[in-house]
Amino acid sequence: MVLDREKPVKSSNPKSIGTDLRVSIFSGKVLIDSLVRLSPVSLASNPVMLIVEVTFFIVAAMAIYPQGFVPVASPSGRLFYVEISAILFVTVWFSTFSAALAEQQAKNTASSLRKLETEVLSKKIVTEKWSRKIIPTKSTELRRSDLILLEKNDIVPIDADVIEGIAMVDESLVTGESTPVRKAPGDALIGGSRIVSDTITARVTANPGETYIDQMIKLVESSKRPKTPNEQAITMVLFGLTAIFSIIIASLLGISVTLDLGADLSVILALYVCLLPTTIGALLPAIGLSGMSRLYQRKIVAKSGKAIETAGDVDVIVLDKTGTITVGNREAMELIPFEGYSKREVGEAAFLSSWYDDTPEGRSIIRLAYDKGFIPDNLNALGLAHVYEFSASTRSSGVKLAHSDDFMLPKGGKAISQRQRISRKYSSASEESVSSSFGEVEIIKGAPDSIKTMVRSIPNNFDEAVDTISASGHTPIAIARNGEAIGIIRLRDVLKTGIKEKIQSIKIMGIRPIMVTGDQPLTARSIASEVGIEECVPRAKAEDKFGIVQKAQAESRIVAMIGDGTNDAPALAVADVGLAMSSGTEAAKEAANMVDLESNPAKIIDVVLLGKQLLMTRGAVTAFSIANDVAKYFAIVPVLFASTISQLQALNILGLGLNSAVLSTLMFNAIIIPLLIPLAMKGIAFKPTNTMSIFLRNTLIYGVGGIIVPFVGIKLIDILLSMF
Amino acid sequence: MIDAAQGFSVILILGVSVAISWLISPYVTGIFTRAPSRVDRLLNPVENLIYRLAGVEPTHGMGWKEYFLSGLLVNILQMAVAFVILSSQGMLPLNPQSFPGLNWDLSIHTAVSFATNTNLQHYTGETMLSYLSQMAAVQFLQFTSAATGICMFAAIVRGFTVGSKDMGNFYVDFVRTLTRLLIPLGFVVALILVWLGVPQTLSGHVMVVTVEGATQKLPVGPVASLVSIMQLGNNGGGYYGANAAHPFMNPNPQSNILEMVLMLLLPTSLIFVFGELLGKKREARPILIGAYTLFGINLFIAFINATHLGPGIETRIGGFFSTFWTVVSTSATTGSVNAQLAAMHPLAILSALLGMLIQAAPGSGVGVMYMVMYVVITVFIVGLMSGRTPEYLGIKITGRDVRLVMLAFLIHPAIILIPTIVAYASGAAAAIGVGSDSLGFTQVLYEYTTSAANNGSDFFGASANTVFFNISTAIVIFLGRYAPIGLMLALSGSMIGRKRGTVVGLKTDSISFSMVLVGSIIIVVALTFFPFLALGPILSFFQGYVNGLG
């Protein structure tokens, strides 16, 4: 798996983010911004470039009035000074341009995200003049205390309280608990959860969280973006190097003057600028900003630059099973008949009972029965079947249809209705479910314990079978036919596609995943081992995550976790990297330091990879910048004292001309900045392997490469210059 | 280039040095961990008596500031004592030759130079120093300065060690280093040297009649004890002006080899001690590999032209061993010489300068400290490329850490380059007859490099006994010694109690990291000093000079 460098962003927004880079380069806004930034005042935050600008002023002054600089300048060198000052100016401009470009890109991405915030169409109830109307409303336009109607399969748009009705709600995406939860008036609904059955009315309890987007845009726009700890440390290195090179240059000037070595001030200043870490100095702001942009492109809002960096350091990721590792729905695996029944009977009954069950589980049961060849003969009867929708109170669903084991019923017709009438007449009115009339068959499937209450007699091995399945990490569904329990369906969690590889890739980078689930231990362990996770915490409630995070932190680990329920908030707050789902509660989003607008918990892994990429990019450009200096010394030092010491020409291994050595080195120094802008903005590509391999590979490319590239580049520019 | 037999002897001498260093390292570690030892019964009463007399509370743990200031204070007091002895030796006993007191500037220079383990000598011992000065000032400081450096090293390692609560107690470390390491080891080595023919006496100079019938004065004295500690403690200050080129300090090939091994002994041993004190023996690996790889590179540069030697080489030692010695002495920051530097090929001088600029190839007590600094900066700059916030020994490197290290790297060029220019601009260089060409520039650059690196080998010797050179080098020596130690102690002190990760991202104990470390040290040093080396020994080389005199 390669971390995508230029993944086209799937977005309803026609102006795709991927094209922003190209768009911005030609936008006048960036150009003007880059020129405004040339003022020494705004350069003050970037001392390296400020020094380059100062040298530009000095050399420009030398070009205008060389006589004033004797003995370190000669009037004959005027044209040379003009050339040098021009290159120096362009160097500074390249740096302001890259910063302006990065900021523009980040702004564009940020504002495009504003439109992308999870928008669910909800049914807002408006009471006007004693009549209730339902108005389709975007979730982002809902406000606190609005009333909303939630029907089966609706997504709860935002946190709300139930005020009327009872429903089963699937909160698996939010809490990780895959079993639907029963919600009655007074219960809180979590934004992002899905109504599985029934209809309820609820009152909105929170305003949509636009605050993150606003916060984020502020972060991008403010030119005084606080430096992250890592940026501060790099800045220290740059300061230190600048100070060291200042001493060296001052000493060279001093030696040249005291020993009469005749070095030209412009050449010494050119050497100074070439030695200064201009490449990293120019690109450092852009690297940080584009790191944020890359997160935004994946629709994740970071509240601070620090959070992204910390993500790169994560050693432990606390993963929710549901939503991250499994898709949140289960799949039928096996049919287990009770004594006296055949597999075929169970399969056919399961098939029939699931026909009208349009959930993924239901579909998977049909698929299983179909695959095994247990296709009921009386399929046609389904057309007229009486369907028991899944209800939260009985936790079961089913069908009732005319019995026909040996002949096909005509579709519709008198016979059925007659039979139905007869059956109703004979069946007890109070116990509709336990129907055993001769001509009809009623099949109910549901949670084993609720089926137990419906059947007339419980098979001897019922409990044993249920326990075995649970113990092996799966979920049992019992099937009853005409009031007799006939068998059990084994359901299994379905893994998200690609999750195994993702887990593998983070493990190989030395990150320890911990799976958290509400499932029982055996279920949890079997799923964990399937994806290669050694550590899992079963039967965990959201509150338990706090303890898990703290425990890992006590072992001095950097912990990342995801969450969205209010119960997750403490853990999100204490985790080093807390990624909240946009569909989650306000409390969770408030506590986290990142919010995923797409509410995809598996993205926590991407966040970690992006954090690493950001750190690597910064390191690579820094190492490259410093390594470049070796070649620059070899280019300029031989010509520095050319007028008095000819023997140093022996060091001129590139065979550069006197003036051309200085000009081509300076040009290389300037041109490398825009050449590296794409690298800085997209981040360096890397394959997740162990840390040492990544380190050695990057050291080879950017460290050793940083020594070699300028030798080649300077020579090439020198050849080009010699053509004119 | 050297031949196969010479190459073999290089490998043998280095191998023996590393092996002995490794063997004694557990014992040296015990000095700082205060682990029970067989010598306790003998030495505990002595040490406890010293603590009681000095009013030291041995269990008191010091913070980095207290540790540093204690060391600094002790050193300054010793400088003061040495200053008094040197400047008033004419009135003091043990002066059979009745030498007068030294000038104030030379006294300051010598006191500072010896108290800081530099041993840059602007005097000629046999004609200027009384026995008292040789023993109570010079030799005494050679023990204490070496002990101070080793203590500082131990304190720095403690800061990095998991579970440390403080930096230890300077006075206890100081006393134990002397009683358990330097004094007994120095005594044994002195006896061996006496056996090899080095004089050790307190009677006056010997007058002999030579075969030609002329009378000659042989300046003998307590030489063996001085040679022992000067090599063992990486001091380098000789009894005689000619240093180890003098037959009484280095009488034969055996003593020559022994003294080279001694120079490498403690610096190398402390690398192993570093790993043992940390409780992570493998972490000594990058330091050992780094130090010896750099040392190997220095040797290679020097050996390119080891046969081109001018006047000033002892024929009984020869070009090869003189060059080898020079590299060992400068890389291990000892500074003793067995030949005149002026006789060396420019490439050997380049190698010597590189050794002193690196200060950790392998470097004495503070050599490991420099290496740790290089590791920290390397981990920071290239470690980011591993995709994690750089960490060393599990500790994340912060902006403050980087600032302290950068400051130490900044001080070094500043205290070498600025006085070099001033020496020329003020005419002080011309006043002692140093030219403005590449040879002269090399000599001045060398003078301040040896001062800043606390090495002590030099071109000038007594000819630099001018107020300017005495005082300017004393300042450089002082800053070059205490500023990096202070910064490094501050860095290490801040490590105490800091959060440590348990997951190792960048394996600093791996061979591959060691190689990256070597590369980054070369780049850091080359970037800082390349133009000046180019104007000095490199230019001399291109100008076709074959030795330091032209």
Closest CA to A582 of A98, A39, A118: A118
- A124-128, A241-245, B6-10: which range is least confident on average? A124-128
Task: Write the single-letter amino acid at B304.
Answer: I
Residues from chain A that touch B500, judged by Cβ atoms under 8 A, are 556
C-alpha distance from residue A277 to each of A44, A95, A678 (Å): 16, 12, 19
Inter-residue contact B493 to B64 (CB < 8 Å): yes
C-alpha distance from residue A13 to each of A108, A116, A176, A297 (Å): 12, 8, 30, 12
User: Residue A327: is its pLDDT beyond 80?
Assistant: no
What's CA B508's distance to the chain center, in Å? 26
Q: CB within 8 A of B124, min separation 6: which ones?
A: B240, B241, B461, B462
Average of pLDDT values for A354-358?
A: 78
Inter-residue contact A335 to A487 (CB < 8 Å): yes
Chain B, window 429-458: residues with a beta carbon less than 8 angstroms from a chain A beta carbon: 436, 441
The reported pLDDT for the residue numbered B344 is: 87
User: pLDDT class for A225, splitting at 50, 70, 90?
Assistant: low
The reported pLDDT for the residue numbered A435 is: 37
User: pLDDT class for A436, splitting at 50, 70, 90?
Assistant: very low
Collapsing DSSP to helix, strand or coil, A383 comes out as: helix
Same domain membership, residue A353 and residue A479: yes
- Chosen from A624, A699, A704 to mutate, greatest number of chain B CBs within 10 A: A699
Pick the most confident of A337-346, A461-470, A704-713, B453-462.
Answer: A704-713
- Any domain includes A51: yes
The reported pLDDT for the residue numbered A119 is: 62
Chain B, window 345-384: residues with a beta carbon less than 8 angstroms from a chain A beta carbon: 377, 380-384
Instruction: Provide, rounded to the nearest whole percent, the portion of chain A with pLDDT above 90.
Output: 19
Q: In the numeric block, which tokens belong to residue A443?
A: 């099949």
User: Residue A18: is its pLDDT beyond 50?
Assistant: no
C-alpha distance from residue A473 to each of A346, A478, A493, A523, A525 (Å): 21, 16, 9, 3, 7
Average of pLDDT values for A688-704?
A: 89
Q: Distance, in angstroms, between A395 CA and closest chain B CA?
A: 47
Same domain membership, residue A436 and residue A288: no
Q: For chain B, first and last CA: distance in Å?
A: 20
Collapsing DSSP to helix, strand or coil, A187 comes out as: coil
Closest CA to A516 of A317, A251, A243, A269: A317
User: Residue B482: is its pLDDT beyond 80?
Assistant: yes
User: Residue A563: is its pLDDT beyond 90?
Assistant: no
CATH code of the domain containing A597: 3.40.50.1000
- Any domain includes A12: no
pLDDT in tens, B320-359: 888 999 999 998 888 888 888 888 889 999 999 999 999 8
The reported pLDDT for the residue numbered A521 is: 76
Q: Which residue has the higher pLDDT, B459 or A418?
A: B459
User: Residue A176: is its pLDDT beyond 60?
Assistant: no
Residues pairing with A440 in the sheet: A402
**Given an 8 Å threshold on Cβ–Cβ distance, is B383 in contact with A251?**
no
Name which of B409, B421, B526 is nearest A255 (Cβ-Cβ): B421
Residues from chain B that touch A235, judged by Cβ atoms under 8 A, are 399
- A374-383, A640-649, B460-469: which range is least confident on average? A374-383
pLDDT in tens, A601-617: 778 888 888 999 999 99
Inter-residue contact B224 to B194 (CB < 8 Å): yes
Average of pLDDT values for A34-62?
A: 90
The reported pLDDT for the residue numbered A255 is: 92
Residues from chain B that touch A623, judged by Cβ atoms under 8 A, are 381-382, 384-385
Chain B, window 451-510: residues with a beta carbon less than 8 angstroms from a chain A beta carbon: 499-507, 510
- A397-406, A679-688, B294-303: which range is least confident on average? A397-406
Same domain membership, residue A504 and residue A490: no
**Given an 8 Å threshold on Cβ–Cβ distance, is B386 in contact with A698?**
yes
How many other C-beta atoms can be found within 10 angstroms of the C-beta atom of residue A383? 12
User: Residue A54: is its pLDDT beyond 90?
Assistant: yes
Same domain membership, residue A126 and residue A263: no
Same domain membership, residue A509 and residue A482: no
The upper half-sphere exposure of residue A655, i.e. CA atoms within 13 Å in the direction of its Cβ, equals: 4
Query: Rounded CA gap, B46 and B44, in Å?
Result: 5
Residue A198 bears catalytic tag: no
User: pLDDT class for A212, splitting at 50, 70, 90?
Assistant: low
User: Residue A221: is its pLDDT beyond 90?
Assistant: no
Taking the whole predicted model, whether its pTM rises above 0.95 is answered as: no
Residue ranges making up the domain that contains A463: 328-495
Same domain membership, residue A593 and residue A618: no
- Any domain includes A72: yes
Q: For chain A, first and last CA: distance in Å?
A: 48
The reported pLDDT for the residue numbered A356 is: 79
- Chosen from B357, B378, B388 to mutate, greatest number of chain A CBs within 10 A: B388
**Given an 8 Å threshold on Cβ–Cβ distance, is B527 in contact with A622?**
no
- Any domain includes A674: yes
- Any domain includes A143: yes
Look at residues A471, A495, A519 and tell me which one is the last residue of a structural domain.
A495
User: pLDDT class for A6, splitting at 50, 70, 90?
Assistant: very low
Residues from chain A that touch B401, judged by Cβ atoms under 8 A, are 233
Closest CA to A11 of A706, A598, A694, A684: A598
Rounded to 10 degrees, the C-alpha dihedral A184/A185/A190/A196 comes to 40
User: pLDDT class for A620, splitting at 50, 70, 90?
Assistant: very high
Q: Distance, in angstroms, between B366 CA and closest chain A CA?
A: 22
- Chosen from B386, B391, B508 to mutate, greatest number of chain A CBs within 10 A: B386
Average of pLDDT values for B436-454?
A: 93
User: pLDDT class for A173, splitting at 50, 70, 90?
Assistant: low
The reported pLDDT for the residue numbered A439 is: 64
Closest CA to A395 of A539, A180, A187: A180
Same domain membership, residue A459 and residue A602: no
Same domain membership, residue A479 and residue A370: yes
Look at residues A190, A208, A226 and tell me which one is the last residue of a structural domain.
A208
- B79-93, B233-247, B343-357: which range is least confident on average? B233-247
Q: What angle do CA B251, B257, B261 make, to 5 degrees?
A: 130
**Given an 8 Å threshold on Cβ–Cβ distance, is B530 in contact with A637?**
yes
The reported pLDDT for the residue numbered A5 is: 38
User: Residue A335: is its pLDDT beyond 90?
Assistant: no
Inter-residue contact B506 to B395 (CB < 8 Å): no
B162 vs A: CB within 8 A: no
B93 vs A: CB within 8 A: no
Residues from chain A that touch B441, judged by Cβ atoms under 8 A, are 255, 259
- A203-212, A519-528, B88-97, B338-347: which range is least confident on average? A203-212
**Given an 8 Å threshold on Cβ–Cβ distance, is B385 in contact with A510?**
no
**C-alpha dihedral sign at A408, A413, A414, A417:** positive
CATH code of the domain containing A139: 2.70.150.10
Residues from chain A that touch B542, judged by Cβ atoms under 8 A, are 647-648, 650-651
User: Residue A406: is its pLDDT beyond 70?
Assistant: no
The reported pLDDT for the residue numbered A642 is: 84
User: pLDDT class for A289, splitting at 50, 70, 90?
Assistant: confident
- A20-34, A35-49, A83-97, A437-451: which range is least confident on average? A20-34
The reported pLDDT for the residue numbered A392 is: 66
| DSSP secondary structure string for all residues of B49-89 | HHHHHHT--TT----HHHHHHHHHHHHHHHHHHHHHHHHTG
Average of pLDDT values for B491-517?
A: 86
The complex's ipTM? Answer: 0.93
Which uninterrupted H or E stretch holds A249?
Answer: helix A229-258
Query: Rounded CA gap, A442 and A435, in Å?
Result: 7
Inter-residue contact A676 to A101 (CB < 8 Å): no
- B44-48, B110-114, B457-461: which range is least confident on average? B457-461
Same domain membership, residue A625 and residue A583: no
The reported pLDDT for the residue numbered B465 is: 93
Residues from chain B that touch A261, judged by Cβ atoms under 8 A, are 535
**Given an 8 Å threshold on Cβ–Cβ distance, is B424 in contact with A255?**
yes
Name which of B381, B398, B424 is nearest A623 (Cβ-Cβ): B381
Name which of B398, B516, B528 is nearest A229 (Cβ-Cβ): B398
User: pLDDT class for A308, splitting at 50, 70, 90?
Assistant: confident
Q: CB within 8 A of A321, min separation 6: which ones?
A: A176, A178, A493, A515, A516, A517, A519, A524, A527, A536
DSSP single-letter state for residue A9: P
Instruction: Read off φ and ψ for residue B283, nearest 5 degrees.
Output: -70, -15
pLDDT in tens, A188-205: 777 667 888 888 888 887
Q: Distance, in angstroms, between B311 CA and closest chain A CA?
A: 25
Residues from chain A that touch B394, judged by Cβ atoms under 8 A, are 556
Q: Which residue has the higher pLDDT, B389 or B113?
A: B113
pLDDT in tens, B3-35: 888 899 999 999 999 999 999 999 999 999 998
User: Residue A2: is its pLDDT beyond 60?
Assistant: no
The reported pLDDT for the residue numbered A502 is: 84
Same domain membership, residue A439 and residue A290: no
Q: How many domains does chain A have?
A: 4
Same domain membership, residue A223 and residue A97: yes
- Any domain includes A10: no
Q: Distance, in angstroms, between A653 CA and closest chain B CA?
A: 14
**Given an 8 Å threshold on Cβ–Cβ distance, is B413 in contact with A237?**
no
B394 vs A: CB within 8 A: yes
The reported pLDDT for the residue numbered A405 is: 46
The reported pLDDT for the residue numbered A213 is: 55
User: Residue B269: is its pLDDT beyond 60?
Assistant: yes
The reported pLDDT for the residue numbered B534 is: 93
The reported pLDDT for the residue numbered A496 is: 79
Name which of B410, B512, B532 is nearest A244 (Cβ-Cβ): B410
**Given an 8 Å threshold on Cβ–Cβ distance, is B502 in contact with A557?**
yes
Residues from chain A that touch B407, judged by Cβ atoms under 8 A, are 240
User: Residue A473: is its pLDDT beyond 80?
Assistant: no
B512 vs A: CB within 8 A: yes
- Chosen from A232, A690, A695 to mutate, greatest number of chain B CBs within 10 A: A695
Closest CA to B138 of B206, B228, B199: B228
Task: Judge if the upstream peptide bond of residue A71 is cis by omega within 30 degrees of 0.
Answer: yes
The reported pLDDT for the residue numbered A596 is: 83
User: Residue A485: is its pLDDT beyond 50?
Assistant: yes
Q: CB within 8 A of A174, min separation 6: which ones?
A: A190, A191, A192, A193, A564, A565, A581, A583, A584
Same domain membership, residue A475 and residue A361: yes
- Any domain includes A704: yes
Residues in chain A: 724
Average of pLDDT values for A49-67?
A: 93
User: pLDDT class for A328, splitting at 50, 70, 90?
Assistant: low
Inter-residue contact B185 to B21 (CB < 8 Å): no
Catalytic one of A320, A564, A576, A718: A320
The reported pLDDT for the residue numbered A219 is: 60
C-alpha distance from residue B342 to each of B275, B310, B447 (Å): 39, 8, 13
Q: Considering chain B, what is the average pLDDT of its residues?
A: 90
Q: Which residue has the higher pLDDT, A170 or B398?
A: B398
Inter-residue contact A690 to A612 (CB < 8 Å): no
CB pairs under 8 A between A and B: 192
User: Could you tell me the residue ranges of all domains in chain B?
Assistant: 4-209+217-542
Residues in chain B: 550
Query: Rounded CA gap, A568 and A591, in Å?
Result: 9
- A74-78, A213-217, A441-445, B514-518: which range is least confident on average? A213-217
Look at residues A461, A495, A529 and tell me which one is the last residue of a structural domain.
A495
Q: In the numeric block, which tokens belong to residue A279?
A: 């490449």
Inter-residue contact B315 to B371 (CB < 8 Å): no
User: pLDDT class for A424, splitting at 50, 70, 90?
Assistant: very low
The reported pLDDT for the residue numbered A273 is: 94
Q: Considering chain A, what is the average pLDDT of its residues?
A: 80
